[in-house]
Chains A and B, each alone.
Chain A
Amino acid sequence: MNEPGTGRSGTAGPGTGFPHLHVASAYSTHYGVTLPEALAGQARAQGASFLALTDRDGLYGAVKHLRACGAEGIRAGLGADLAVHDDDRLPLGRVVVLAHGGTSGRGYAALCRAVSAAHQAMSTGTGREPSIGRSELAELAGLRALTVLLGPVSDVGEAIGRRATKEAGARLTAWQGSMPTGSVCLEVVCHLAEPGSRGSVTPATRMLALAEQNGLPAVLTNAVRYGEPEDAVTADLADAARTLTPLAELEQPQTNGQAWLKPAGAMRQVARMVVDAGLHDDGALTRLLRDTDMLADRCTLDPQADIGLGTPRMPEARVIGVTGDPLAELWKRGRSGVDERYAASGRTAVETAHARLEYEMATVEHLGFASYFLTVARVADLVRGMGVRIQARGSGVGSVLNYALHTSSVEPIANGLLWERFLSPERQTLPDIDLDVESARRHDIYRAIFQTFGADRVSLMSMTNAYRGRGAVRDAGLALGMDAGQVSAIAKQMWRFNARDFRRALEEKPELEPLAAEVRASQQLDQLVDLTARLDRLPRHISVHPCGVILSDASLLDRTPVQASGMGLPMSQFDKHDMDPMGLIKLDILGVRMQSAMAHAVEEHRRLTGESIDLDRIPLDDEPTFELIRSTRTLGIFQLESPGQMELVGKLQPEVFNDLTVEISLFRPGPMQNNMPLLYLQARHGEVVPDYIHPRFEPILRETRGVVIFHEQVMRLFDELTGCGLGKADVFRRHLGKPEQLPLIEAYVREQALGRGFPPAVIDRIWTVLAGFGSFGFAKAHGAAFALPTYQSAWLKTHHPAVFLAGLLTHDPGMWPKDLLVAEARALGVPVLPLDVQHSVLDYRVEDLPPGHAGPVQVEPVTAGSPGPAGPRRGIRLALPELSGSTAAERARIVRHQPFSSLQDFRDRVRPRRSSFEALARVGALDSFIGYDRERRHELLAHIQSLRGTAVAVHDDQLAFDVDLPVPRYTGDRFTAVTSLELRGRTQTELELRDLSLAVSGHQLARFYPLFAELGVTPASALADLPGGTEVLLAGVRRATNTPPMRGGRRVVFVSLDDGTGPVANVVFFHDAQERIGAPVFQTRHLLVRGRTRRSGAKGVSVTGDSLWDLADAARLVKQRHSAERAAKNAAGDEARAEALAAELAAVAPTNVRHLWSARSA
């Protein structure tokens, strides 16, 4: 054989393989570098019949390993590479803990518990790294559940490494003394390193001798970190990343590149060299290999009997509040739920719902999922019981059962949602119901679930974060010891392509040409490109999943190891891909800020009026609400507030709830790229006749005017064409995204459809539609579930704008900066009131305005639907957390001690930090102490700045004396008075922007308003009144830049401008304008734009951008013209120059229509 590497051979037959017992996968982040699937595939190709995975500090890759071994037809073992400490907490190095198989899961359970214990010790603050106590490990290893391998990095191996043979013996004796008999084994590792270094043959042969002297078995492993020798470079990178040290400075780099998954021949070679290097008993070689084989046999896990793979484990009946049979209970609750839910809808509806319930229950019974539904309903009840808003999302919304159980609040039958999209006998995976809750309460909910179900049945789910371009280039740069600034500059260019394609991208992308030239000139950069590609997609770290909660029975901690998450609650080491194989139920409990915002609005309304709004019971046909949506004034409305959505909603003109479902489903990348919105709109507005292809498809496609948008429609079409049933139809639908499946489906559809009387031409056409649908589109269940909060938020904005905006400002759920919400509030006639220590609290509250209060800056309110009930005028008070740099403790003291009788009182009880104190004074939050006389604020600030004292620690409850100590009035000669110059020449807006990053009293562009008037800029609020095609000048501060997906792949840039007069104005730059204008389309912050209005539908209007200037440049030109004009008046000779400037300016703003900035808004 002439292959490089020691005796590599891919030709070994089955049974001749070597059983690797110590293998780290790439899920040992920053250590192993090969994925479990690749390792298992390689093991089988080498003829191995067994492979263990022993990730560091956990079972992170365990489920993937079990599945990969199953797929490859080899036996699987599991273990973990763990640090151990003794009773005095002194470290004993690292060992491999292997689970024994054939123990009905006892070995695997002990392994899970050992890993959890190692992490538990870390989270209780006794160490920085996971580590398990030896006595705890001994306890778990009882009943022959575990084997512990003491290798080169154990305390025993460490002593051997420095030739301290006696000490090694003593340490081994200590292990034997504390561990159960037969649970300790010595691990011989030899990487054929240079004599005298780690991994050389000498310590290996001594380890073998130690085993012989003590009558212990020794096994041979290769302490594997990668599959192939080529991957050793990546392991070098992992070492650099783990220790944050450049390769050249690594303290302990890999001794060489031999920690790969060697085939049997190479391992036997190593064994021979180890045995030959020392004096050993006869038959030492055979014994070493035989003991290795025997341990592999012992550690072979049965996926079903030992792990319970594929067996769902639901919480026990009593935990979900059921005393009898869960199925009977589910029937009972389902039936009474249907009666209650459909009572108002008439007898037919009740009967239909009962029939559907029976149909659904048959599947539930067949699959044995009764406990699952009860569990989810229990969680939903729990959340509602906490007074938290909850909304089911996902395909589970298509179930009458879920609706009856109050798990979901969308009625499925009338909305045309299908049970089979959620669950069917053809769909074998565990069902998935997602629950959206108030984001601000998510952690409370998690804690309540732990409390209710018990910490032994609940765990958070984790997620694996993998390397992507920027992280990869940073860590590769670190390994090479490159300058951080240089690496950072390169990282910024790593987008729109995969890091693994870095080299190709350098060759192909013109914008990367300067970098490509640098790479050609630098050996180090050339290496950087290859190393970056190597890191791409490798697991990087695990973190808590944003919404996954695992619910199971009391055996949970025997089946998954857990570690502490960032929020302190235990988190499983398994990710979402591991849930279904492990039979673990996962609930997605997602925090949604809009739900918090709406809850805040409802609570504020109750506080102000005593009236309770039940958002889940508001009528879904409120005309003013739809009127508001149609007006495209959708800022702040769930799902509809992006510029693209504003435009689509303007064109679509929703009239009923189902239109919202359609709208939301159309605004997705798949439908957008397939031109579905246009086709639908044309048919909707009667420009074309809906094309149903065949009368039998009309009932399915009528709601979307012949355009296939929903998964449910695809399923119905399959069913209509072939009579396959909806369950099977969903299988077909999911296979549409797999090109290799298409011919099979097509053949079946054609044959069945012909038999069911469809003409070939019809079949041709509908097949083209189905095949083109691919995996695009949207489950209508998702769309309907999104449409509900969309409608609810629109209803709130229509009828209770003040409290709704207070909710939006508090929880900030949307895509826009708060400045725009403030502007929107102003436009709706609800002023946002400045920060005031007497009134501001921790969230945004609505206040009644004193009669005659004008609000800060008046802009004529734009009527939003119905103006809401007549009553006292209200404003929204700015919340304390907006004050930059203040601490939570300070803010809490302010709220606790309000109101304050004097500045002294405020100082005594709040004890603010100097910086907060001054900031509060600057923005006017302390104006109450000077009688709201803004003119005196500089005196107040000067007074505060003059206070001297030493810093003291303050208790949360500070007692104070109610003594009036007013600010001294600095009267008299104004030139001798002490004042603060900080406020000179600063507008309130500027002060607010400085200390609050949010201007509520005026708009930041107000200083440009005279310029706007002079140039003839159209205010955004006036745009809606202009006919399409009107040439206009617009100006504003950039609030958002969007590049939504478009048909044809040509990029369209939406820039949303805010000029302070009302809603944002959306300017669209098409391809030619982008080319003409260049980078400023993305970069200029204060813009002046020339373009033409573009009507979208009856109400929507946007502007097609043509040219763009920086406002500052325009202002400078105007200023120059003014001075030139003045000069011209004085000296007539300068007339020519004035004319030249006028001409230049004319080029900026040559619009035919000059909508002068009105005196009111200026």
Chain B
Amino acid sequence: MPQIIDIRVDVELSADGDPRAFTWDRFEHTIIGQPQAVFTRTRWWENDGVPTRIDTELWRVDAARGGEEQHRYDLRRDVDGSWVLALDWG
């Protein structure tokens, strides 16, 4: 069962622009392998106003804290550029 985290985190990007690591709860989590981005569209006409984006940006990454077992996480990047750790898939 995925666990909802929903907390702002700092993300470090590689030179290519991919997330390389994020810091959650003061611990750096290193991302392993090629992370995958997924853009999911919204039904924006059901909400207020006209959005600047019609999709939300999620990165599904495998990451590990130090030598601990790696987990799969969903990182969301919001329109303002800030990152949110959305889910911990375990």
Residues of chain A touching chain B, judged by Cβ–Cβ distance below 8 Å, are 1-7, 9, 191-195, 200-201, 229-230, 232-233, 236, 247-248, 253-258, 265-266, 268-269, 272-273, 276-277, 479-480, 523, 526-527, 530-531, 534
Complex-state Cα separation, A200 to B43, whole angstroms: 19
A265-B17, A527-B45 given as contacts; is B50 within 8 A of A192 (CB)? no
Complex-state Cα separation, A232 to B41, whole angstroms: 10
Residue with the highest number of chain A CB atoms closer than 10 Å, among B17, B18, B53: B17
A sample of 29 inter-chain contacts (CB < 8 A) reads A1-B17, A2-B81, A4-B77, A4-B79, A4-B81, A5-B57, A192-B37, A192-B38, A193-B40, A194-B38, A232-B54, A233-B50, A233-B51, A248-B43, A248-B46, A254-B41, A255-B41, A256-B55, A257-B55, A258-B55, A269-B18, A269-B37, A272-B18, A272-B34, A273-B36, A526-B49, A527-B49, A527-B50, A530-B49
The chain A residue with its CB closest to the CB of B43 is A248
Is B52 an interface residue, CB under 8 A from the partner?
Answer: yes
The chain A residue with its CB closest to the CB of B78 is A4
Question: Which B residues touch A2, using CB under 8 A?
Answer: 81
Complex-state Cα separation, A141 to B79, whole angstroms: 44
* A-B contacts besides A4-B53, A229-B52, A269-B17, 13 pairs, CB < 8 Å: A4-B79, A4-B81, A6-B17, A9-B17, A193-B40, A230-B53, A255-B41, A256-B40, A256-B55, A276-B33, A480-B45, A523-B48, A527-B45
Question: Which A residues touch B33, using CB under 8 A?
Answer: 276
Q: Are A257 and B53 in contact (CB under 8 A)?
A: yes
Is B13 an interface residue, CB under 8 A from the partner?
Answer: yes
CB distance from B84 to the nearest CB of A (A): 13
Complex-state Cα separation, A824 to B64, whole angstroms: 94
Tell me which of B38, B55, B81 contacts A3 (CB under 8 A). Answer: B81
Task: Give residues 1-23 of B contacting A (CB, 8 Å).
Answer: 13, 16-18
Q: Are A195 and B81 in contact (CB under 8 A)?
A: no
Question: Which A residues touch B51, using CB under 8 A?
Answer: 233
CB distance from B87 to the nearest CB of A (A): 14
The chain B residue with its CB closest to the CB of A193 is B39
Question: Which A residues touch B49, using CB under 8 A?
Answer: 523, 526-527, 530
Question: Which A residues touch B16, using CB under 8 A?
Answer: 7, 265, 268-269, 272
Q: Are A273 and B34 in contact (CB under 8 A)?
A: yes
CB distance from A415 to the nearest CB of B (A): 56
Q: Are B40 and A194 in contact (CB under 8 A)?
A: yes
CB distance from A824 to the nearest CB of B (A): 55
Complex-state Cα separation, A6 to B18, whole angstroms: 8
Q: Are B55 and A232 in contact (CB under 8 A)?
A: yes
Tell me which of A230, A233, A258, A480 contacts B39 (CB under 8 A). Answer: A258
Q: Are B34 and A232 in contact (CB under 8 A)?
A: no
Interface size on B, residues (CB 8 A): 30
Complex-state Cα separation, A258 to B41, whole angstroms: 10
Is B44 an interface residue, CB under 8 A from the partner?
Answer: yes
Tell me which of B17, B45, B57 contacts A247 (CB under 8 A). Answer: B45
Q: Are A233 and B34 in contact (CB under 8 A)?
A: no
Is B25 an interface residue, CB under 8 A from the partner?
Answer: no
CB distance from B56 to the nearest CB of A (A): 9
CB distance from A964 to the nearest CB of B (A): 73
Question: Which A residues touch B78, using CB under 8 A?
Answer: 4
Complex-state Cα separation, A686 to B16, whole angstroms: 81
Q: Are A4 and B57 in contact (CB under 8 A)?
A: yes
Complex-state Cα separation, A1008 to B45, whole angstroms: 57
Complex-state Cα separation, A254 to B43, whole angstroms: 11
Q: Are A256 and B77 in contact (CB under 8 A)?
A: no
Q: Are A256 and B17 in contact (CB under 8 A)?
A: no
Question: Which A residues touch B79, using CB under 8 A?
Answer: 4
Listed from nearest, the 8 A-B pairs whose CB atoms lie closest are A7-B17, A256-B55, A276-B34, A257-B54, A256-B39, A530-B50, A2-B81, A256-B41
Question: Which A residues touch B37, using CB under 8 A?
Answer: 6, 192, 269, 273
Question: Which B residues touch A9, using CB under 8 A?
Answer: 17
The chain B residue with its CB closest to the CB of A273 is B36
Complex-state Cα separation, A194 to B54, whole angstroms: 14
The chain A residue with its CB closest to the CB of B40 is A194
The chain A residue with its CB closest to the CB of B79 is A4
Complex-state Cα separation, A194 to B38, whole angstroms: 6
CB distance from A47 to the nearest CB of B (A): 15
The chain B residue with its CB closest to the CB of A8 is B17
Q: Are B44 and A233 in contact (CB under 8 A)?
A: yes
Is B69 an interface residue, CB under 8 A from the partner?
Answer: no
Tell me which of A4, A254, A531 contacts B54 (CB under 8 A). Answer: A254
Render B60-78 as a binary contact track against A, CB cut-off 8 A, 1 for contact.
Answer: 0000000000000000011
Complex-state Cα separation, A542 to B49, whole angstroms: 32
CB distance from A569 to the nearest CB of B (A): 42
CB distance from B18 to the nearest CB of A (A): 6
Q: Are A257 and B17 in contact (CB under 8 A)?
A: no
Q: Are B50 and A531 in contact (CB under 8 A)?
A: yes
Q: Are A195 and B17 in contact (CB under 8 A)?
A: no
CB distance from A990 to the nearest CB of B (A): 52
Complex-state Cα separation, A761 to B37, whole angstroms: 72
Complex-state Cα separation, A848 to B34, whole angstroms: 95
A6-B57, A269-B18 given as contacts; is B39 within 8 A of A191 (CB)? yes
The chain A residue with its CB closest to the CB of B77 is A4
Q: Are A253 and B41 in contact (CB under 8 A)?
A: yes
CB distance from A1021 to the nearest CB of B (A): 60
Q: Are A195 and B38 in contact (CB under 8 A)?
A: yes
Question: Which B residues touch A255, using CB under 8 A?
Answer: 41
A1-B13, A3-B81, A269-B18 given as contacts; is B34 within 8 A of A256 (CB)? no
Question: Which A residues touch B18, using CB under 8 A?
Answer: 269, 272
Question: Which B residues touch A193, using CB under 8 A?
Answer: 38-40
Question: Which B residues touch A269, using CB under 8 A?
Answer: 16-18, 37
CB distance from A778 to the nearest CB of B (A): 44
Complex-state Cα separation, A258 to B48, whole angstroms: 22
CB distance from B44 to the nearest CB of A (A): 7
Complex-state Cα separation, A530 to B36, whole angstroms: 34
Q: Are B53 and A248 in contact (CB under 8 A)?
A: no
Complex-state Cα separation, A272 to B18, whole angstroms: 10
Residue with the highest number of chain B CB atoms closer than 10 Å, among A3, A191, A255, A257: A257
Residue with the highest number of chain A CB atoms closer than 10 Å, among B13, B18, B55: B55
CB distance from B83 to the nearest CB of A (A): 9
Question: Which B residues touch A258, using CB under 8 A?
Answer: 39, 55
Question: Which A residues touch B55, using CB under 8 A?
Answer: 232, 256-258
The chain B residue with its CB closest to the CB of A481 is B45
Q: Are B13 and A233 in contact (CB under 8 A)?
A: no
Complex-state Cα separation, A192 to B33, whole angstroms: 17
Complex-state Cα separation, A248 to B43, whole angstroms: 8
Complex-state Cα separation, A9 to B16, whole angstroms: 11
A4-B78, A6-B57, A257-B41 given as contacts; is B36 within 8 A of A266 (CB)? no
Q: Are A229 and B53 in contact (CB under 8 A)?
A: yes
Q: Are A257 and B39 in contact (CB under 8 A)?
A: yes
Q: Are A201 and B39 in contact (CB under 8 A)?
A: no
Question: Which B residues touch A5, using CB under 8 A?
Answer: 57
The chain A residue with its CB closest to the CB of B11 is A2
Residue with the highest number of chain B CB atoms closer than 10 Å, among A191, A269, A534: A269
Q: Are A266 and B43 in contact (CB under 8 A)?
A: no
Complex-state Cα separation, A530 to B77, whole angstroms: 25
Question: Which B residues touch A253, using CB under 8 A?
Answer: 41
The chain A residue with its CB closest to the CB of B51 is A233
CB distance from B19 to the nearest CB of A (A): 11
Q: Are B52 and A230 in contact (CB under 8 A)?
A: yes
Complex-state Cα separation, A200 to B39, whole angstroms: 9
Question: Which A residues touch B54, using CB under 8 A?
Answer: 232-233, 236, 254, 256-257
CB distance from A257 to the nearest CB of B (A): 4
CB distance from A718 to the nearest CB of B (A): 50
Question: Which A residues touch B45, using CB under 8 A?
Answer: 247-248, 479-480, 527
Question: Which B residues touch A236, using CB under 8 A?
Answer: 44, 54
The chain B residue with its CB closest to the CB of A480 is B45
CB distance from A425 to the nearest CB of B (A): 51
Complex-state Cα separation, A523 to B47, whole angstroms: 8
Complex-state Cα separation, A523 to B50, whole angstroms: 10
Question: Which A residues touch B48, using CB under 8 A?
Answer: 523, 526
